[in-house]
Structure 1
Amino acid sequence: MPLKETQALLALLYTDETFREAFFRAPLERARQFGLGEAEAESFARIDAAAVARFADCLKGKRTLDARKTLPLTYRALGARFDRALLAAVAGPPRPGRHRADAAALAARLARAEPAWIGDLARFELAFVEAGARRNYLTLRFFRYPVAEIAVQLACGEAPGAARRPSVGVWLQLFGSRLFYFLA
């Protein structure tokens, strides 16, 4: 069985729900589209759809758990809506730098969400994630809401009550040293 084609097919089966549904409607055709021979295509056609769906659900669960750890305040603010918003933002297989990529995709989606401050909060947390992935980092972010106050409220277990008030944040890290940030 050609390894590269097999891995590509399995990755899509486990991470892309649309592809998975199409595959199980016509498994032989889909397997052949990946350049698999007749014997390999027939092997894939015998894969148990329920088992694939269970494993795909496990992968989704792991991905949402990782995202909760990456954006903990955003998770706290959204509660049960967090997982749905994440999975809607990151359809398909994980990208390189998955944790950062998933956080960025979710922050972009939340920029259009309600409550309006939730997108700012996700972008605030994303700045720390991005800084942690680089040795040298400088960024300036503008927010529509006082994200520092919102973050403190959430960290203390309080319900955020933020009125619209612009704020700005600066993050700086040089040569892998300690990260400095300032919010005003």
Structure 2
Amino acid sequence: MALAQTQALLARLFTDDDLRREFFEAPIAVATRFGLSMHDTERLAGIDRRETEVFAQSLIGKRALYARRALPLTARALGDRYDALFRQAIRGAAREATSRSDAAALTAFLETRVAKCELEPRWVADLARFELAFIDAGASGATLFFRAFDCNVATVAQALAKGEEISAVRRKTFGVWARAPRGRLRWRLFQP
């Protein structure tokens, strides 16, 4: 049981900036909160802060790279802002750190920022949701789901992929992704 609690705390220390800062300010209080014994707390309190920070940053860098690969057009659209926005999106409580979960966290974060008019271009949230739909549809088994977008995301995606200028017009677009069991994924966008 002590091993599981220690591992849980370490996982959080490597993925949660706020908890890591709190731990190095008051290691006994944090370790006690995680149910560690005094012996385990003392051992864990001896870890090097600088090495922990370096390791945590390398993990975040890897996660950012994998999410960039999952949402390549979104990353291209965000350009130099990608890394900072990604770090903000995954900040906080530890979650399952998979490419899909990180891509979903970034997508949700972008949607929130766009909805609050804190991020331009507005179509970047639609683009992230569009790319995330392919990840979700790529899961094995039968698939059928719909997404609604505020712009023609296919035109945006094509322009980005070709390196062309993007002229996204706000026009409601609906997407459907479908696959029969062991079948090929099919998708289509519709504009009313």
User: What TM-score do you get using the length of structure 1 for normalisation?
Assistant: 0.93
* Distance (Å, rounded) in 2 between the aligned partners of 1:34 and 1:166: 48
* Distance (Å, rounded) in 2 between the aligned partners of 1:77 and 1:109: 15
Q: State whether structure 2 residue 187 is matched by structure 1 residue 181.
A: yes
Structure 2 counterpart of 1:172, from 169, 173, 178: 178
Alpha-carbon offset, residue 116 of structure 1: 0.7
Report if aligned partners of 1:5, 1:35 keep a CA contact under 8 Å in 2: yes
Q: State whether structure 2 residue 159 is matched by structure 1 residue 153.
A: yes
Alpha-carbon offset, residue 45 of structure 1: 1.2
Q: State whether structure 2 residue 136 is matched by structure 1 residue 130.
A: yes
Q: State whether structure 2 residue 145 is matched by structure 1 residue 144.
A: no
* Distance (Å, rounded) in 2 between the aligned partners of 1:65 and 1:29: 34
Q: Deviations over 1:116-140 (max 9, x none)?
A: 1111101111110001124111111
Structure 2 counterpart of 1:117, from 93, 113, 123: 123
Alpha-carbon offset, residue 174 of structure 1: 1.3
Unaligned runs of 5+ in 2: none
Query: What is the one-letter code of the residue matched to 2:165?
Result: A
Alpha-carbon offset, residue 33 of structure 1: 2.4
SS at match of 2:145: strand
SS at match of 1:178: coil
* Distance (Å, rounded) in 2 between the aligned partners of 1:5 and 1:166: 48
Instruction: Give matches, 1:102-113, under 5 Å.
Output: 102-111=102-111, 112=114, 113=119
1:31 corresponds to: 31
SS at match of 2:12: helix
1:68 corresponds to: 68
State percent identity of aligned pairs: 47
Report if aligned partners of 1:28, 1:44 keep a CA contact under 8 Å in 2: no
SS at match of 1:73: helix
* Distance (Å, rounded) in 2 between the aligned partners of 1:80 and 1:137: 35
* Distance (Å, rounded) in 2 between the aligned partners of 1:134 and 1:90: 26
* Distance (Å, rounded) in 2 between the aligned partners of 1:160 and 1:2: 54
Alpha-carbon offset, residue 182 of structure 1: 0.8
1:56 corresponds to: 56
Alpha-carbon offset, residue 28 of structure 1: 2.1
Query: What is the one-letter code of the residue matched to 2:187?
Result: Y
Query: What is the one-letter code of the residue matched to 1:13?
Result: L
Alpha-carbon offset, residue 94 of structure 1: 3.2
The Cα RMSD (Å) is: 1.5
Query: What is the one-letter code of the residue matched to 1:55?
Result: F
Query: What is the one-letter code of the residue matched to 1:37?
Result: S
User: What TM-score do you get using the length of structure 2 for normalisation?
Assistant: 0.89
SS at match of 1:144: strand
